[in-house]
A and B are shown apart, each in its own frame.
Chain A
Amino acid sequence: MSSWTDKRPMSPHVSIWKWHMTMASSILHRITGVGNYLGIFIVVAWLFATAAGPDYYEPLAGLIGTIWGQLILFGFTLSISYHLLNGIRHLVMDAGKALQPKFGSFLSGLVLVLSVALAVGVWILSGLVPGVDPLNMTGAAPLGAAQ
């Protein structure tokens, strides 16, 4: 790859294509989109369990309360954060703005950093991180705690 000196455009083949920020951003947008597709099953299950009664709600809350449940929930939060912020970037690009290569790369990187900050921020502020609860959200019983 490094010995390649021909400056002419190459075939956009994944294995020989130089990675850049906007490309990673495009791929991540699709991955997080599929992630959100899977994640909404949890949201609908939660709504359905709430309608079905405590016999359905409590087991689901217990499942989400486990370490694996929390990991999946954080992954879903991260996925939503990224897809939301990058989606706004896409809408800006659809309007014909922010299409310059350098600024596009900068914005893609910024979205990546901001989305991680947003997801972590949501978890910290909502008291989902064990031992961290600046807004005293855990005054009431958290999701997954024994009622």
Chain B
Amino acid sequence: MSKQQESMRTPLGRVRGLGSAKHGAGHFVTQRVSAIALIFLVPWFLISLIAAVRGGYDGALAWVADPINAVLTLLAVGAALYHMRLGMQVVIEDYIAKHGTKAVLLILNTFICVGLFAAAAYAVLKIAIA
């Protein structure tokens, strides 16, 4: 099968964001894999968090310090941030037509999600390892 039969789009059309630049399926799959993880992690996180905040600052500190809570919190927050970066990317791509604005917002989206993960990871590791 030759290259031309695989797609009617030109390679330039693909990389200009007018179609999948060969990562469209990856976005679809990772969005759903993170969703499956979150089906389990979010209810656990909600229930634990409500119990944790009951004890005020000391209760919160003791809760995060627990090894299982620390690891599951990192997983929950990590999966959530990964999932929402993908989701927000689609929202931006759908509603923002201007190329410049779109690019800025997509970069900002990544920065926010990675930044929030760094803050969350720092906080959890500082409490759990100290």
B119 touching A122, Cβ below 8 Å = no
Closest to A58 in B: B57
- A residues sitting closer than 8 Å to B (CB atoms) are 30, 33-34, 36-37, 40-41, 43-44, 46-48, 50-52, 54, 57-58, 61, 77, 80, 84, 87-88, 90-91, 94, 122, 126, 128, 137-143, 145, 147
A30 touching B39, Cβ below 8 Å = no
**What 0/1 readout, one digit per residue, does chain B (102-116) give for beta carbons within 8 Å of chain A?**
000000000000001
Residues of A within 8 A of B77 (CB): 40, 43-44, 47
Bound complex: CA A48 to CA B127 (Å):
10
Known: A47-B123, A50-B127. 16 other contacts (CB 8 A): A33-B88, A34-B91, A40-B77, A40-B80, A40-B84, A40-B116, A48-B123, A50-B123, A51-B64, A84-B38, A84-B39, A91-B36, A128-B50, A137-B50, A141-B55, A141-B56
Q: How large is the interface on B (under 10, 10 to 19, 20 to 34, 35 or more residues)?
A: 35 or more
Smallest CB separation, B14 vs chain A (Å): 24
B60 sits at the interface (CB 8 A): yes
- B residues sitting closer than 8 Å to A (CB atoms) are 32, 35-36, 38-39, 42-43, 46, 49-51, 53-57, 59-61, 64, 73, 77, 80-81, 84, 87-88, 91, 116, 119-120, 122-124, 126-127
